[in-house]
Structure 1
Amino acid sequence: MSAEVTTCAETPPIDAAALVESWAESLELAVVWDRDGRILSCNNAFARKFGAREEWVGRPFGEKVHPDDSLDWRNGITRIDMRPWHVSREHRWQTVQGWRWIAWEETGLRNADGEVWAVRSIGRDVTKRRLGEEHFSKLAKAIDQSPTAVVLSTPQGQVQYVNPRYTEISGLTLEEIFEKEIEVLGRGFDDPGAYRDVLEQVRRGGSWSGEVCSWGRDEKELWEFVQITPIRNHADEVVQFLCLREDITQRKTLELQLRQAQKMESLGTLAGGIAHDFNNIIAIVKGYTEFCLGRTEDASLQRYLTEIHKASHRAVGLVRQILTFSRKAEVSTRPVDINALLNELGRLFSETFPRTIEFQFDLQKDLPSLMADPNQLQQVIMNLCVNARDAMGEGGRLRLSSKRVRGSQILDQQNIDPKRDYVCITIADNGHGMPPDVRARIFEPFFTTKMKKGGTGLGLSVVYGIVVNHQGALTVDSTPGKGTTFRAFFPIIETKKAGSSDAEGTSQPVPRGTEHLLIVEDEESLRELLSTAMTELGYTVETAEHGLAAAERLLNGGGRDLDAILLDLNLPGMNGIEVLRSVRRIRPSMPVIIISGNVGREQRDQLNQLGVGDVIVKPYSLADIGQRLRSVLERR
C-alpha cells in the first residue's frame, strides 16, 4: 500500500486523508502537508504525540521544530523537489511529552507533470536511540581522553582495546600490541605465576589492584597503579576484563627521595654525635702531642710525635667532613663567582688528572654570585670531579657547566622554592656509570665501591650535606656503560660582586699571662690538658667539671677574683649557654672564650646576644688558645 503511495500518481488525489488512511492505527506518525507547509491530514499516532487531529489540519507542519533545528528543517524541504524526491532527517520537536527526537522519512507526491504538490511524512520517536548514541559518544570521548590508561581484554588476557593514554605512556603502538599479541595486562609482573593467579582471581569474579614496574617510552622506568575488574554479560558471566593503569612514576620518585632524605637525616644525626665524641678524643691526642713536642729534645721521639701530630690533623679533616655531612658544621658564607671557581678548578684538574681525560666547559655568562661557603663549594666540585675521574679509568670526557634555572622547572626535587632562581652546576662524565642498586646508596656515609683504592665513602655524603645545608638540591643520572651526570642546584641570592677574602693573620708566639682563669670542661683529659698548659704559661687555673659546679663557683664571692673563663658548651646538668647567662648576671664584663666541638647557627645567635664572639672549635691548638686568651684579656 505504502509503495503505491510512494510511487507518484499521474493525477493529484482529491482526498489527502486517504493518503494516511492505511497508517491510521499505525504506531508510527503519519502526516501529509502541502507545498505551503500546512497539514492536510494526519493519523492517530501523530495526534497522540502532538495533539488532536482536528487542531492540526491547516496549521504549519514545522511550527513545533526546536528553534536550533528550524534552519536545517527548512533547508531539507528544498531537497524534496529533487530526485529521488525522498528525504530522511532527524530533529527535536515539541510534543505533549516534551522535547523529543523525531526521525522522518518524507516522500514527495507528484502530479502528472512531475511536480511535487504535497509531502507525506512518516515519523518515529528515536529519542531513546539518540540519547543512547550521545551517551555512548560521551563515554567513548571520556575513555579516549582519559588521563588513566584503559585496557579491555578477554578473560584469557588477549587485548581488545587500549586508549591513547596507554600507548602514550607505554611507548607501544596499536599495531605492535595487536600484531605481536602483547599481553598488556601482564606488563610489570616479573613472576608469570603471580600474573596467572591474578587472571584466575578476576575470572572468578574478584578484582585485583597493585603497583607494578615496567619500562615505558624511551626505556625509562615506569611505575603504575593497576586495577583489574571483571565485566559481566546479561547472564552474569565474566566476558571481559577492564584494566585501569595509572602512571605513578613521579609519586614513586618523590617517595624514594623522601625515604632517602629521612635516612640521610638519621645518618646525619648519628654521624654528628659520633663526630662530637671524636672531637674530644682528637683534641686530647693533638693537645698532649703538642705538649710533648715542646718538652723533648730526643730527635727520634720528636719524629714519632710529629707523625702522631700529622695523623691527628688528618683525623681533624675526617671529623670535619662528617660534621659537614651531618649539617652540623658552621657555614661561613660570602659571595662566590661560580664560573671563576669552575674555571680555576678546571685548570687545576687538567694539570693533575690523566691526559686521557678531555675537559669541556659550558658556562653561562653573567651568572650572579652565590652566597655560599667557598671552601665547601670547592669541596663539592672537587669530590664530584674526582669521582668522575675514577669512573673513566681509560680516559673520556669530563664536562663542567653552569646555568641559571627557575625553581618552577625543578619542582620534582625536594627543598626547591618555585619562586626562586637557582644556579645549576653540572659535572658529567662518559665513564662506566652505575647500576641502580649502587646509585641508590652513593650518598650514604662510608658506602664506597673503591675499598681497594682507599676510598672512605664520605666524599658524596659530604657533597650531599653541603648542598642541602645551602638550601639546594642534588640529583644524579647514571646508566651503566654510558656515564654519570651530577647536578647541584644552589639558590641565587642577589649580592654584590664576589670579592677577595681577607688576608689571614700570621702566626704569633704563644704569649704568657698571670691572670686567674676558670676552665669549664666535662672531659677529664681535656680539662687536665688545658689546666696544665695554661698553668705553664703563668696563669692561675681553676677547673669545673660541669655547668652546676661552674655556676656555684661564680656565686661564691661573685667571681670577682676571676679574670676570664674558658667554657665548653656541651656540659651535663647545666649547658654552656645557661652558664654564660649566669656569668652575664653576676659579672657582665667577664671575658669568656667558648671552646666547643660544634657551634650551630642557633647557638651562635645566642652567643652574639650574650656578647660573646670568641669561639674556638675543637680539636684546637694550644697555641691558638693561648693567643686568643691573651687578645681577649688585653681588650678588656
Structure 2
Amino acid sequence: MRTRERDRTWELSQDLLAVANDQGRFESANPAWEAVLGWSRQELMAMPFRELVHPDDLEATEAELARLARGERTRGFENRYRAKDGSYRWLSWTAVPDGGLNYSAARDITEQKERAAELETAREQLRQSQKLEAVGQLTGGLAHDFNNLLAAIGGSLELMRRRGLEGRQADLERYIGVAHGAVKRAAALTHRLLAFSRRQTLEPKSVNLNRLVSGMEDLLRRTMGPAIALETVAAVGLWNVHADPSQLENALLNLCINARDAMPEGGTLVVETANRWVDARSAPGRDLPAGQYVSLTVSDNGVGMSPEVVARAFDPFFTTKPIGMGTGLGLSMIYGFAKQSGGQVRIYSEVGKGTSVSIYLPRHDRKEERADEAEQVETAPRADRGDTVLVVDDEASLRMLIVEVMQGLGYATLEAGDGADALRILESNQRIDLLLTDVGLPGGMNGRQVADAARTLRAGLKVLFITGYAENAVLSHGHLAPGMHVMTKPFEMDALAKRVKTLIESR
C-alpha cells in the first residue's frame, strides 16, 4: 500500500523528482520533467544531466555536486536547466546523497525570478526618478541664475568691445572682473547640478557638516523660494562624520524640499548641526548604540504630520503628496543611507505646528577630506625653447584661445579638432612634449582613447585632460595611468599654463 502511495505521489508531484548516479546521469525521473522542460524520461536518462545546465551555472553546479559527494545535503541551490525548446528555466533544488545515488526534488522558480527582476528594475527606475525629481526642483531656479550669469558675461563683453572701440581703457579691468566672477558662479552651479544627477555611488569621506551646509546654502535658498525664510545654525567645534558627501547633499536637499512643501503659505526652515552624546539610557529610544554622534536637523513650522503618518514616513513608496508630485522614496532612501552609515533618522512632528527630521551619524575622528583649492597663479610660466603641445578640442573657440595662450608663452603648438586628426599628428615625426585633450570628442573616439593610442605610439607621453564633470566616467572616475592628469572646465588660462609647465618639466 505504501509503495503504491509513493508511486502515486511520484507520478502526480508538480516538483521535478529524480534519482541520479555518480556518473552524472538520471536513473529515473517523474512526469513533471516533461511538463516543465519538455524532455521525456527516456530522453533525460539518455543524456548526461550536465548538458542541460546553463553554461554560466555549470561551475556552481559542479561545486554543489562535490558537496553531495562528501555526503552533505543540498537545500535551496538554484541553477538553470535547458528546456527542449532551447529556453532555460530556473530550478531550486533539494537533494540528499544515499548509497552512491542522489535523490533530488527541484521546483520551477522561473516566474518568481522574473517577478523579482522586474521588481528590482522598477525600484531602480523609481530611485533614479527620485533623484531626477530632486534635480527637477532646481531647474527653474538654475535656469534663472544661468540667464542672469550669461547676461552679466554678455553685457561685460559688449561694454569691453564698446570701450575698446572708443579707446577708453579705464573700465576694462572692472568688466573683466564681472565676467570672470560670473563664469566662476556658473561653474559652481553646473558642478552642483551634476553632483545631484550622477548615478554612481561615491566613496565615503570624512566630512564636516557645517561646511557642507554652508556650501549648499545658496542652492537651498533658491530652491525654497522667496516665501520661505531659511536659517542655518552651525554648531561650534562640530565633529566630522564619515559618509558619502553626494548622498548627504541629496538627503539635505530632499528634507528641505519636503519642508518647503509642508509650508504652502510660506514659513521658516531651519537647518541645524550639533554634536550629540547618546548615553545608554537614551540610546534605546533613538534606536542607536550609545556613543558620540553628529546630527543634521531640518525643521519647519508647516502643517506637521499625524502619528499615523510619522509611523509610515520611512516606508518605501509611501507619500502624502498628490499623484505625480513624489515617488515616496525620499525618506526611505535617507533612512537607508543613514543606517548604512551607522546612524539613524528620527522624526518629531505635531499637526499644525511643524516637523523636525534629524539625521544622526557617528562621530569620525579623521581630518576632513576637502577638495583641492583652486590654484593661485600670479604669473604664467614661459616655455623652454622647442617645447611643443598638441591641443585637441572640438570647440574651435576654446581651442583657439588655448593655442594663443600657449604660443604667447613660447610653446610650439599643434592642433586637432577630433581624435582622427590627433592620431595623424601623433603618427608623424613631429616633436610633442604634451598632449592636451578634451575628453568629449566627436567621431567615435573620445579623449581617453586618443590618450591611450598616443601612449602606445609615444611611450611615456605626458597627457593633460580638460573635462566637464559629466565626463568623469570616461576617465574611470580619476583612476588614471601615471603621467595622465585632469583639469576641470572652466579653468583660468594662467592655471592651465602652470599645469602644462609642471607636467613637461616632470619628464
Name the TM tier (shorter chain). Answer: 0.3 to 0.5
Q: Look at both structures and tell me which one has the larger radius of gyration over its CA atoms.
A: 1
Q: TM-score if structure 2 supplies the norm length?
A: 0.48
- Please, what TM-score do these two structures have when normalized by structure 1? 0.39
